[in-house]
Amino acid sequence: MNQTFNESIEFLKQRLQLPLPGIEAQALMMPETTGLKYHPLTEPPVHSRRSAILCLLTPSELQQPEILFTLRSNNLSSHKGQISFPGGRCEPYELPHETALRETHEEVGIPPETITIIGSLTKLYVPPSNSLIYPIIGYCNERPTNIQVQPEEVQEVFFTGIKELLDKNNVKLTQLERNGILIDTPYFDIHHTTKLWGATAMILGEVCSLFQEFYD
């Protein structure tokens, strides 16, 4: 690994052992309607369904840290056409990191043995889907070249550099309509057709908070 990328990984290995930025960092990218703020629940319902995602870090061609994202298929029943991390529902027997690795392999073909898990972020409960998301962080020593997209779930894979995500010019606000309600929605403007918002943006908000500490 390049020294810069290596330093960022070593920083995260140590930093993830300390108290995390948590809900405050997630809330920076939280959708909001007039008079109502959707805060993550510290104690989600006992009937919530466990999910896990993988925030996969890789070195770019310029040897800077970047993150792998997927653009979900328009054929999916939920969150279709949205930018996301690889991930999905946990099987009853799985630990969250096992789910994240399995789903990443199924969705984009990256073998689990090429990924090193270094920790996890703050859990996020998403009321509309009753999902309790476990964000897992891992890395590859090189940008994967063996990507094989599962077209039923993913229509595109792309990489975005951490410094691009930290650029305040790429964090914007729009209004989205959901079920007849206008929602003030912060989003990352990093894709040529699609806004990165919602739970993915909230998780990414905590990732960016950690990397801001690294660069500071």
CATH (domain of 203):
3.90.79.10
**55-56-57 Cα angle (round to 5):** 115
Q: CA 175 to CA 105: how far, in whole Å?
A: 34
> What per-residue confidence (pLDDT) applies to 178?
73
Q: Which domain holds residue 106?
A: 3-215
pLDDT of residue 164: 97
Indicate the number of domains in the chain: 1
Q: Are 173 and 55 in contact (CB under 8 A)?
A: no
The pLDDT assigned to 32 comes to 82
Give the per-residue pLDDT at 78. Answer: 56
Quick one: pLDDT at residue 47?
86
Identify which of 204, 177, 185 has the alpha carbon closest to the alpha carbon of residue 84: 204
Please list the pLDDT of the chain residue by residue as tens digits (216 residues).
556 999 999 999 999 999 999 999 999 999 887 655 555 555 788 888 999 999 999 999 889 999 999 998 766 555 567 899 999 999 999 999 999 999 999 999 999 999 999 999 999 998 878 899 999 999 999 999 889 998 888 999 999 999 999 999 999 999 887 777 788 899 999 999 999 999 999 999 999 999 999 999
Q: State residue 38's pLDDT score.
A: 53
**What pLDDT shows up at residue 36?**
52
Q: Is the pTM of this model over 0.85?
A: yes
**Position of tokens 């990218």?**
29
pLDDT in the model for residue 37? 53
Q: Provide the greatest CA pair distance for the chain.
A: 50
